[in-house]
Structure 1
Amino acid sequence: MAPVKVGVHVSIAGSLDLAVDRAKDAGCDVFQMFSRNPRGWGFKPLSENDCALFRQKIKTTGLLPVDHMPYLPNLASPKNEIWEKSVQTLQAELDRCGRLGIPYLVTHLGHHLGDGIAGGRTRVIKAVNRTLAGSDNAVMLLLENTAGEKNSVGSSFEHIRAIIDGIEKSDRIGICFDTCHAFAAGYELRTKEGLEATLGQLDGTLGIGRLKVIHVNDTKGDLGSGLDRHEHIGMGFIGEEGFRHILHHPVFAPLPLVCETPVDDRRDDRGNIGKVRELAA
């Protein structure tokens, strides 16, 4: 079996191209980043120099970049001002990815804030349709499954399917599968049988071909807990044996794997990349 392609989320502090340097220094094959400050609505426009430097370093290193939407946008929000700003952010991020040569943009589907799952889904569909209609590049938008926390949209494969069914340019839609979120939402991943059952459901509902990126995260919450708390690989409820099954599975093994794991006195990013490679060997 070919070696897995694994990496982590890296900082863009200083300049965007430094994210590529940090990813290379950490031993990444793939890396995820925010193309801008993830904690605010405002952002600095990209210059042609920014784009050229980033693209050149990607070409030189051969690394695969993945962008992630910032924290504040909520595509399912019933609050019109927040929803509009979220749509504008999504539009801007798709454009930035196109200019930077980033093929994938990962987005959470948001929270309906008690207004009901159907209304939340409708707003997500409207947001995605509007942004893709105004996007002239080939960047693929990856919908990320959620952990089943209160008022969340997208914790089940069926909910994600209902969103995709409403999207006009569905060829521009893929899936980012988060292991922590799936497990917290009630999908068993720790055993061969459980993993096969989960992937069978995913294939039957969404289609395995839509899987483009995997967020490889252990979890501090037990099966079906609804708790979105990431843990070091093998140190949480999924555990090392669970990740052996995941990382040796022919569906997951060839896909880009991104760890969004803690950095603390127990382990750093290099340590989690190393643990993934160890368990995949």
Structure 2
Amino acid sequence: MTKFVGAHVSASGGVDNAPLNAMAIGAKAFALFTKNQRQWVAKPLEIKTIDAFHANLEASGILPKHILPHDSYLINLGHPEAEKLEKSRTAFIDELERCRILGLDRLNFHPGSHLTKIPKKDPEYDEKLLEAELHCLDVIADSLNRAIEATKDSNVKLVIENTAGQGSNLGYRFEHLAHIIDKVEDKSRVGVCLDTCHTFVAGYDLRTRETYQETMDAFERIVGSKYLMGMHINDSKPKLGSRVDRHASLGQGELDWDTFRFIMNDPRMDDIPLVLETIDESLWAQEISALYALIE
């Protein structure tokens, strides 16, 4: 088996519960938060929790490289205000350290937002927006370089998730991802996670073999498949190019099962975590089985 499918499971009660929750749904991969994702600070991981995590992970048979931890939603590595940017950078470095302590080799994160409000009627709207975006992308890249420098003894990779492009969130264009990676000094520590819903609502069609191939060829050309280190497998409630982030259960949105068949038979997705973030966790075991059934 070359595909490793799972879901973003709960770590409620301790991170050591995440492998058990993954096992319960037949997962071969999973994602988790290593701390409360809506709080800035968490107490350090206790030795007994770390040991229990490793024991449960060994029992699950899931390898660390098939686990895709996600950082806090509060973190904005492109924040325009110096104090809040520093707070985000400190929290991000802590998240990387938590992954290292747990023996995990990657951390998934949303790149950041410029938060600039420009009136649409401004005659220089396009120029000002582009300037804000480019500056923010440079700030994000600088944040990554600082985080890598602060964790030189670590091999945890910083995995940038493409976004839906809501509001001032960046990372919805492949060019954004490429710009950030280009400015990261140690490229061995950086990667990308593609979210199917985010990709679709950002304007990249995945629904037919032809459009799927066009999208993945564009990713290869602009970013590079060597950077692909995980995927989020989600259907999309909104339509193509809407730039609205609303996940749906598989087969219950704008994408159809052909999209997921293409992914499950694409060798570019071998040996990386393929993680469900669909909205009805009671369907996860069923969705995992259905995805494996698509392999030809």
Q: Does 1:76 align with 2:91?
A: no
**Alpha-carbon contact 1:141-1:172 (below 8 Å) kept:** yes
Consecutive unaligned residues in structure 2, runs of 5 or more:
118-131
User: What does residue 59 of structure 1 align with?
Assistant: 58
Shift of 1:3: 5.6
Please show how residues 95-244 of structure 1 align to structure 2 within 5 Å. Answer: 95-114=97-116, 116-135=132-151, 136-244=153-261
Runs of 4+ in 1 over 4 A off after TM superposition: none
Shift of 1:253: 4.8
CA-to-aligned-CA distance 1:103-125 (integer Å, 9 cap, x gap): 11001011110171012112101
Number of equivalenced pairs: 278
CA-to-aligned-CA distance 1:190-237 (integer Å, 9 cap, x gap): 111111111111111111111111111110011111011100112111
CA-to-aligned-CA distance 1:243-266 (integer Å, 9 cap, x gap): 2222222222543210000127xx
**Alpha-carbon contact 2:3-2:269 (below 8 Å) kept:** no
Q: Does 1:45 align with 2:50?
A: no
2-side partners of 1:80 and 1:170: how far apart?
26
**Alpha-carbon contact 2:68-2:273 (below 8 Å) kept:** no
**Alpha-carbon contact 2:236-2:248 (below 8 Å) kept:** yes
2-side partners of 1:83 and 1:126: how far apart?
11
Consecutive unaligned residues in structure 1, runs of 5 or more:
none
CA-to-aligned-CA distance 1:130-180 (integer Å, 9 cap, x gap): 111010210111000011222111111111111111111111001111111
Shift of 1:56: 2.4
1-side partners of 2:289 and 2:61: how far apart?
19
2-side partners of 1:203 and 1:241: how far apart?
21
Greater CA drift, 214-223 or 3-12: 3-12
**Alpha-carbon contact 1:247-1:280 (below 8 Å) kept:** yes
1:280 counterpart SS class: coil
RMSD: 1.5
User: What does residue 128 of structure 2 align with?
Assistant: none
User: What does residue 125 of structure 2 align with?
Assistant: none
Identity %: 36
1-side partners of 2:4 and 2:263: how far apart?
14
1-side partners of 2:192 and 2:201: how far apart?
17
**Alpha-carbon contact 1:233-1:275 (below 8 Å) kept:** no
1:67 counterpart SS class: coil
2-side partners of 1:119 and 1:67: how far apart?
27
